[in-house]
Amino acid sequence: MKSLTVDAGDERYDVLVGRLEDCRSRLVALARGRPLVVVSEPKVWGLHGAKLEALLPCDPILVPEGEPAKDWPHLRDLIEAFAERNLDRQTTVAAFGGGSVGDLTGLAAGLFKRGLPLIHLPTTLLAQADSAVGGKTAIDALGQKNLVGMFHQPNLVVADVSLLDTLDPRQLRAGYAEVVKYGLIRHEALFEWLEDHGEKLLAGHREYREEAVWQSVAAKARTVEADITDRNGARALLNFGHTFAHALESAAGLGTLLHGEAVAVGMVLAFALSAELGLCPHGDSARVRDHLAGLGLPTTIAETGVDRAALLPLMRGDKKNDAGAIRFVLTRGIGDAFLSEGVEEAKVAAFLDRAA
Ligand SMILES: O=C(O)C(=O)C[C@@H](O)[C@H](O)[C@H](O)COP(=O)(O)O
Ligand SMILES: [Zn+2]
Q: Tell me which residues have their CB closer than 6 angstroms to ligand 1.
A: 130-131, 134, 136, 138, 146, 178, 230, 235, 238-239, 242, 319
Q: Does 65 carry a binding-site annotation?
A: yes
How far apart are the CA of 230 and the centre of ligand 1, in A?
9
Q: Does 69 carry a binding-site annotation?
A: yes
pLDDT tens, N- to C-terminus, the chain (356 residues): 999 999 999 999 999 999 999 999 999 999 999 999 999 999 999 999 999 999 999 999 999 999 999 999 999 999 999 999 999 999 999 999 999 999 999 999 999 999 999 999 999 999 999 999 999 999 999 999 999 999 999 999 999 999 999 999 999 999 999 999 999 999 999 999 999 999 999 999 999 999 999 999 999 999 999 999 999 999 999 999 999 999 999 999 999 999 999 999 999 999 999 999 999 999 999 999 999 999 999 999 999 999 999 999 999 999 999 888 899 999 999 999 999 988 999 999 999 999 98
Alpha helices by DSSP H, the chain: 24-31, 42-53, 72-84, 99-111, 125-126, 169-185, 188-203, 206-225, 242-252, 259-276, 282-294, 301-304, 311-315, 345-354
Q: Whose CA is nearest to atom 9 of ligand 1?
A: 131
Domains in the chain, CATH or no CATH each:
2-166 (3.40.50.1970), 169-354 (1.20.1090.10)
Ligand at minimal distance from the CA of 246 is 1
From the CB of residue 206, how many other CB atoms can be counted at a distance below 10 Å?
Answer: 12
How far apart are the CA of 136 and the centre of ligand 2, in A?
11
Q: Does 137 carry a binding-site annotation?
A: no
Strand-pairing partners, residue 58, are: 36
What are the b/e assignments for 242-272, b being 16+ CB within 10 Å? bbbbbbbbbbbebbbbbbbbbbbbbbbbbbb
Q: CB–CB of 11/5 below 8 Å?
A: no
Q: Does 11 carry a binding-site annotation?
A: no
- How, if at all, do strands 156-159 and 118-122 pair? parallel
Residue 143 falls in which region: left (phi positive, over 0), alpha (psi -120 to 50) or beta: left
Q: What is the ipTM of this complex?
A: 0.98
In the Cβ-directed half-sphere of 160, how many Cα atoms lie within 13 Å?
19
User: CA–CA distance from 215 to each of 92, 248, 346 (Å)?
Assistant: 28, 27, 38
User: CA–CA distance from 116 to each of 93, 237, 330 (Å)?
Assistant: 7, 29, 37
Q: Does 68 carry a binding-site annotation?
A: yes
Q: Which DSSP symbol is given to 151? A: B
283 CB-near residues (< 8 Å, 6+ apart):
none
Residue 265 has phi, psi (to 5 degrees) of: -65, -45
For residues 294 and 198, what is the distance between their CA atoms, to the nearest angstrom?
10
How far apart are the CA of 247 and the centre of ligand 2, in A?
12
Q: Whose CA is nearest to atom 15 of ligand 1?
A: 146
Of 47, 4, 155, the residue nearest 94 (C-alpha): 155
Strand-pairing partners, residue 121, are: 96
How far apart are the CA of 10 and the centre of ligand 2, in A?
25
How far apart are the CA of 279 and the centre of ligand 2, in A?
23
Ligand at minimal distance from the CA of 327 is 1
Ligand 1 atom index nearest CA of 235: 3
